[in-house]
Structure 1
Amino acid sequence: MAVGLGPLPTLHPVPGFELGIASAGIKRPGRKDIVVMRCAEGSTVAGVFTLNAFCAAPVILARSRFLGPVRYLLTNTGNANAGTGEPGIAAATRTCSALAELAGVDPSAVLPYSTGVIGEPLPVDKIVAALPDALADLAEDNWAAAAAGIMTTDTQPKGASRQFVHDGVTVTVTGISKGAGMIKPNMATMLGYIATDAKVAQGVLQDLLRDAANKSFNRITIDGDTSTNDCCMLIATGQAPVAEITQASGALFAALKQAVLEVSMEVAQAIVRDGEGATKFVTVQVNGGAAHQECLDVAYAVAHSPLIKTALFASDPNWGRILAAVGRAGVPQLDVSKIDVYLGDVCIASKGGRAASYTEEQGAAVMAREEIGIRIELGRGACSETIWTTDLSHEYVKINAEYRT
C-alpha cells in the first residue's frame, strides 16, 4: 500500500528527449518491460552510480560511457544482469550494439540499465527482439508510460515535473524513478532518470546531479540494502533557447538547481511512500549534531532498527527502542542528558529518560498516523540531517520471501 502516493502528476515533455516502451516478456508475456530513451544530438549527460562492489554489468558499462556523446538509454526490468561476471558484460554490450545498429549510432552512445532478479543470465534475444517496437514508440510525451515500464515490485509509477521561466523562455525539468525494496542508495536510487531542455556544461551538470542526489536519493532508506544496480541520470538536451550554463552561478543556474532538487526530492520520497509493504511514511530528523555524519549515523540507526520499524507498523509508541538506537549509533562521547526525542510535536524523552509531560496516549495518537515524524535533538552543535524511511510489515516479508516465485 503506497502511503500518500496518488496518481502521477502532469509530466511535461522535455524537448529533445523521447521515450519508447515495448514488451520483451522477460518475466511474463505482454509485460511492458523495455524502455528506450533518445537524447537529442549534443545533449550532455551526468550520472551517479551504486558503490556496491558487486555492481551490475550495465552499471559498469554505463559508468564507462556516459561522459562521451550519449544518444540512447536502454532499460530492462525483470533481470538485473548482476552477479553475472564477464558473460553479463558481454550480454549488456550485445543489447547496446543491437540498439546502436537499429538507430544508426556508435555502440558507445548507448547506455544500458537493468533491474530485477540478481544472478540470472540476461535474456538478450528477448530484449533485442523488442527494440524495434520501442524505437517505433519514441515520443516526448511518453514519460508516464515509461514510469510504468521501469517498475518491478513498485505498486505505482513515480514521476515529477517542474517548469520555470527565464528571460521569457520556459525551461522544463521532468523525472521518473523506480524502487520499492533493496533501498538504501549509496549514490542515488534504484533507477532514476531526469531530463531538462536547458543547455548545461557536463561538469556543471555532474556537480548539480551529485548535489541533488545527496539531498534526496541519498537520504532515503527502506531496508538498508544498497542495490547492485543503482543509477541516476540527468540529461540536458540544450533545446531551450537560453544561454548555456557553464558555471554554478547566476539566476538561470539557481532556478535550474531548484527545479532539479524538487524533482529529485519528489521522486525519491515517492520510492519510500511505495516501499514494499509500507504502511507508514517516516521522517527522521536529527538536529544539534557536532558533525553532519553523526547526525546521519543517528538517523540511520533509528531508520534501520527492525524493532523500531515493527513498532511503527504496530503503531506502538515504544520509545525505549528509539533511545536504544540513538545510543548505539556510535556518536563519540554522547551525553544522553542533553538529548530530547520527539514523536511529531510530542516530547517523549528528555534528559536521559521519559519526559515528565509525556503520556502513552499522546504517543499512540502520533503513531496511529500514516505520516510520522521522529525528531532527535542531540544538543552537541549546529548540524542537522533528515532522512525518510518506512515501517516493516508482514507484507514486506511476504514480497521478498516470494520475490523469485
Structure 2
Amino acid sequence: MRHIPGAWHRTAAGAGLVGADGSIRPTIFAEMSALAAETGAINLGQGFPDEDGPVEVLEAAREAIAHGVNQYPPGRGIPDLLSAVAEHQERFYGLHLDPARDVLVTAGATEALAATLLALIDGSDDEVVVFEPYYDSYAAVVALAGARLVTVPLRWPDFQPDLDDLRRAVGDRTRAILVNDPHNPTGAVFAAEVRDEIVRLAERHDAIIVTDEVYEHLVFDGPHVPIATLPGAWDRTLTISSGGKTFSTTGWKIGWVTGPADLVSAVLAVKQFLTYVNGSAFQPAIATGLRLGDGFYRRIADELRTKRDLLGAGLRAAGFEVSTPAGSYFTVADARRLGATDASAFCRELPERAGVVAIPLTAFATPGRRAEYATLVRFAACKRVEVLEEAASRLAAAQ
C-alpha cells in the first residue's frame, strides 16, 4: 500500500475529514448541500448568495474577457486592482498603503489564509490562536503547516471571547493570532476591548496578527474597525479580505492580503507556488467594485440587515432561540426547545422534517468543545427575501 504523506494526513485530520477507519469523509457543507439537492430543501446552510452582484462589476468582467484579459496576470495581481485595494483601505480606514509593496492578490481569502500561515509558521513548536467555533479551513491549514491549534471559546449567546481565556491562550509559542471579524460562523463583531487586548498580547509575545475580514462591509451597527488601524498593530498585522461576499461573486475567488511589505513578500513567496496567479478578467472587475460609491456599501449592509431580521423573526416563530448577529451572513439559533440534543442529527433530519437545510455549529469546533455547541445551528441569510420567507414558513409549519 502506498504511503500517505504526513502533511496530507495532518491536514485531513485537522479538518475533521478522517474517519475512525481512515476513510475520508465529505465536509458537512458538501453533505448538507447534497441533502438539499436530494430533498428539494431550501439551502440555508452554505454561505453563498442566490443573486448576482452589481451590474457594473459583472459588465467589467465581460469587458475584460472581450478585450483579451485572459492570460496570466502579474504575480502580485494586476496593477489596477492593487491600486484599488490600496485606495479602498485608505478610503474606509485611513490606512496608507503602497500598492506595489503592501498588497497581494490571491485566489480568494482561503488561499490568502493558507499562504499566510504557511509563510509564518516555522515548525511544530509554533502555536496559532483562533476563536472557536472557527471557519473550517483554519484547522486544516494549521495542521498542514505542522503547528498547534490553540482555541479561545466563543459562548452563546453573544459569542464575545472572555479576555482571561484569551490571555491564557496566547503565550511565547504563539506565532499568530488569527482573528475573523465579523465572525463566521457566529455573526459576532468583536468588542473594542477584545481588539485592544489582541494587539497588546501580540506585542507582548511578539506574535503576528492575521485578520480574516471578508465580511467587512456587512456590519449592521456602526463601522467595521480593522485591527491594523489600532495603535501598535500595523507592523505586525496581515489583513485578508476578498470581493466574494461584498460583491456577491463568491465563485470568482479574488482575494487579497495587505500589510507591511516584508510580511506581504513572505506570503508571496509561498503563494507563487500554490495557485501562482488566478482570475485575470475578474481582477479588473473587482477593482471596479472597490471604487463603487458609498451608497452601494450602505445598501448591501442595509439589505442584509433586513434579511437578518426576517430570518431571525422566522426562526423565533418556529421555536428557536436566536442570537442576533452584528455582522456577516449568518445567524446562530438554539434548537433545544425543539427537542434537539445533537445539532448534527437535528440538521440531517431538518431537510425531511421542514424542507430547510442548516449547518450544525459543532462542524466548526474541536471535538473537546462540541458539547458546548450541541444544540446550536447556523443559518445563512444571504438569500432572496422570498426564499427566506418560504424557509420561515416551512420551519414554522414543521413544529
Compute the TM-score of the two structures, normalised by the length of structure 1.
0.22
Larger helix percent = 2
Larger Cα-atom Rg: 1
Compute the TM-score of the two structures, normalised by the length of structure 2.
0.22
Larger strand percent = 1
